[in-house]
Structure 1
């Protein structure tokens, strides 16, 4: 392992001072004695608008194989979501070369071991983790209006510019290019996928982990919200040992999805015109799936909010369930702490890993020799609250709520040799799998394009990497996905 090296570009007089770039050589050790020599680099990448005005100083953490010939080695650009979230969790959690091992649904201790990640994407691709503007160490340049990049279209533009700047900086134009997004990062990846194509950058593949494409589902009372949540609740009830006994988790989830498609969505659509006896019949079937009492379901006219399920499902045990991964539980709060907004933001599946991930990530950067800033902003609430949700959808026009399924479909039509894979978790209460399947079905892709879209469902919640068994099972799926470029 070589010593840390650091270099800094000469700065123009009066320019903002940014941390120096730092690099370090490592060796990854995998199973069966496999090794990869690679270089980790932490750096600030400057991006500019079309008039040459500095927009942002973007933090990029890259892991690049030391192989001399990289002509067929992909480079993947990865990010988390929020909006307002940095890329640290998808890095240290499961896609980077080192990870914090998780322990089922148990809360990790504050000091955890770190291991060479046997499931890292470094086995098939070089990796570049990018913090979105205003998150992590990335920040908007002095004198540039943050509102221009804190929004669906502005953020997509900034991240596309960051990808291009990194390709220029590292002379990587002759490499296969991939995008990997999680949560809101899937929304971002869809926009960047289209924008890069419009700017002459080919994208070979896009990985959409825990996807959300159409944000109209988040509006109060939207039928698709209840439809999407139902299979998640069914999977949770089964994992808790309440329903679905004697049925495999895959089959139980499939049965719940089928019930939504054939029965439940129709009942939601009919709403108050549904006969009472039919409502009773459907409530009884719902109870068999999700374990809540029939009277409880009837009182809510078949429409169960996730927070209600989380709060009531295990209340007899003094527990409430998580949102990101509904298998996680924590002790209920005192009755005086009944603020709904507070409860909805509390999540044992996030609490179980977040602090450890952040501390290990900071140690990793310091080991590399990167000083950073006084504060690494893993989740910037200011960015989230200021977000501009307007989106100029291709061929549709500007809408106040984005539906980036149109961006994916448009990019695929323009680039029919590229591939997209959607990774979904059965216990994901943040971005339910049913919804993304529904959203893409509404694009009516012809068969020759539909075959370019792949689907993979597993046991995890929102954060694939927090479920070691799911991460292990998904690794060969992703490796096969990357190999598809040779079949184009």
Structure 2
């Protein structure tokens, strides 16, 4: 009797596991031939849009997970796609825990939403052919990291194997190789395009792909951060990098720099930040009193914060303090991802640093609109019916479980992520690969000064340094939601791809 019960229970458990696997299994690929007519200069063209699952397997064939991809392949004059001369770019956001919807429907894909500057969008803002899509220059494959979107870790596989700096990059490398193989694109120039944490992924991934026989033609880093020690408020580099961004924000709200050009004002703040201000931070409490007063006054002039407020914090103003203080008289707080956005101040009891960082006006303004556009496009246009729940952002679960350890090439593992060595090594072993670093003045999540410093601290050889380009815009973290920036980015990216 007991044996029968045990056997019955085992059958039920097996049935439940089979049902779970079936629920996680993505439908087969759906492909539709579409037409783009978004840019008069480029003219219209046909393209194939493909919603497609990619199996991520180990060298031994073990299934680690299934990664959802949304690909756009431009058709030639003969109607065919995938010619060997046609580049292909793999694109993604970061988080960790973010799907690729923002970088796709926000600006790089062939279909995009209507934006409204720094104003929040309605639930259905409308879509149109994107005149600035990267599809003009390269085929595009948008990948959702495992644990985001419809991408799922395989049943029985511990998420810790792919939710970490090195495991994540390994999973993406395997997915990219699988896609190139399935689409017979080994002869095509291969590029990477990553935003935010996607730039950390880029740094490790470009090295892994190189080691596995996939030499990249180029890598685009949007809103980048490579050395995470600079995110620590105890680091002088944190405060140096924040100051120019604070100054830009203060000018945007007409609190400082009135009548001065935006770039001129930002550059003045950079000069002070890496000069007198950096020197003052280095000296700490050994800085003479008269110098403390002078530096605090200059800081105050650039950021509009009271000089005494700056002095009380020993010249070290943290981001949360600035966000709460700048617009306090108006009952507002400014954004983090894009400091031009603002929202009503939280209640006095809501003091959680994590919650304040996560409740960002820039996110709230656009992400739900992007998700609605994506779901409508994939289902109605492509006929792809994925699971009901699409995880636009799964940061709490994925990011909260992230393994931040990283084995730097030629170095020991470090407790704080630094992927600069990965970049340097790849530039060294791949003498034709080029790097394009893009960012904005109003991004307080990955500040512009810090990424410039990251690359400068690599001390690259001249032949390597000349293959790294920088472009700074008047935008925040999600550069693609800013119409003037998107237009400028499209021009810069067109030049980047034309020089291959």
Q: TM-score, normalised on structure 1?
A: 0.95
Matched, 1:21 2:29: yes
CA contact (8 A) 1:20 1:371 kept: no
Q: Judge which range, 104-113 or 89-98, deviates more.
A: 104-113
Q: What residue number does 2:297 align with?
A: 284
Shift of 1:153: 0.3
Measure, in 1, the Cα distance between the counterparts of 2:201 and 2:232: 20
Describe the shift of the 1:121–1:138 C-alpha distance in structure 2 as closer, same or farther (beyond 3 A). same
Shift of 1:373: 1.1
Shift of 1:443: 0.7
Matched, 1:355 2:364: no
Shift of 1:401: 1.5
Q: What residue number does 1:379 align with?
A: 393
Q: What residue number does 1:479 align with?
A: 494
Matched, 1:430 2:439: no
Q: TM-score, normalised on structure 2?
A: 0.93
Q: Secondary structure at the match of 1:181?
A: strand
Describe the shift of the 1:116–1:14 C-alpha distance in structure 2 as closer, same or farther (beyond 3 A). closer
Q: Aligned match of 2:410 in 395, 413, 435?
A: 395
Q: Secondary structure at the match of 2:407?
A: strand
Matched, 1:229 2:238: no
Q: Secondary structure at the match of 1:397?
A: coil
Match runs of 1:433-472 below 5 Å: 433-472=448-487
Measure, in 2, the Cα distance between the counterparts of 1:112 and 1:345: 24
Q: What residue number does 2:9 align with?
A: none
Q: What residue number does 1:99 align with?
A: 112
Q: Aligned match of 2:101 in 88, 101, 106?
A: 88
Shift of 1:447: 0.8
Q: Aligned match of 2:135 in 93, 112, 122?
A: 122
Q: Judge which range, 377-386 or 90-99, deviates more.
A: 377-386
CA deviation profile, 1:77-98 (whole Å, cap 9, x unmatched): 0000000111111000000001
Q: Secondary structure at the match of 2:40?
A: helix
Q: CA RMSD in A?
A: 1.5
Shift of 1:396: 1.2
Q: What residue number does 2:227 align with?
A: 214
Q: Judge which range, 67-76 or 19-28, deviates more.
A: 67-76
Flag structure 2 segments of 5+ consecutive residues without an equivalent. 1-17
Describe the shift of the 1:186–1:221 C-alpha distance in structure 2 as closer, same or farther (beyond 3 A). same
Measure, in 2, the Cα distance between the counterparts of 1:21 and 1:165: 15
Matched, 1:75 2:88: yes
Measure, in 1, the Cα distance between the counterparts of 2:358 and 2:292: 32
Q: What residue number does 2:40 align with?
A: 32
CA deviation profile, 1:377-428 (whole Å, cap 9, x unmatched): 1111211000000000011121112211111110000001110010010000
Q: What residue number does 2:61 align with?
A: 52
Shift of 1:364: 0.9
Q: What residue number does 1:417 align with?
A: 432
Shift of 1:15: 7.2
Describe the shift of the 1:14–1:137 C-alpha distance in structure 2 as closer, same or farther (beyond 3 A). closer
Q: Aligned match of 2:422 in 399, 403, 407?
A: 407
Measure, in 1, the Cα distance between the counterparts of 2:289 and 2:357: 31
Q: Secondary structure at the match of 1:392?
A: coil
Shift of 1:13: 13
Q: Secondary structure at the match of 1:423?
A: strand
Flag structure 1 segments of 5+ consecutive residues without an equivalent. 1-11
CA contact (8 A) 1:156 1:188 kept: yes
Measure, in 2, the Cα distance between the counterparts of 1:348 and 1:14: 37
Q: What residue number does 1:198 align with?
A: 211
Q: What residue number does 2:8 align with?
A: none
How many residue pairs are counted as aligned between the two chains?
474
Stretches (4+) displaced over 6 A? 12-15
Q: Secondary structure at the match of 1:115?
A: strand
CA deviation profile, 1:116-148 (whole Å, cap 9, x unmatched): 001100000000000011111111111211111
CA deviation profile, 1:286-321 (whole Å, cap 9, x unmatched): 111111000100000110111111101011011110
Measure, in 2, the Cα distance between the counterparts of 1:203 and 1:417: 8
Q: What residue number does 1:109 align with?
A: 122
CA contact (8 A) 1:393 1:402 kept: no
Q: What residue number does 2:189 align with?
A: 176
Measure, in 2, the Cα distance between the counterparts of 1:385 and 1:236: 30
CA contact (8 A) 2:126 2:373 kept: no
Q: What residue number does 1:344 align with?
A: 357
Measure, in 2, the Cα distance between the counterparts of 1:269 and 1:131: 42
Q: What residue number does 1:137 align with?
A: 150
Measure, in 1, the Cα distance between the counterparts of 2:359 and 2:288: 37
Instruction: State which structure, 1 or 2, has the greater radius of gyration over its C-alpha atoms.
Output: 2
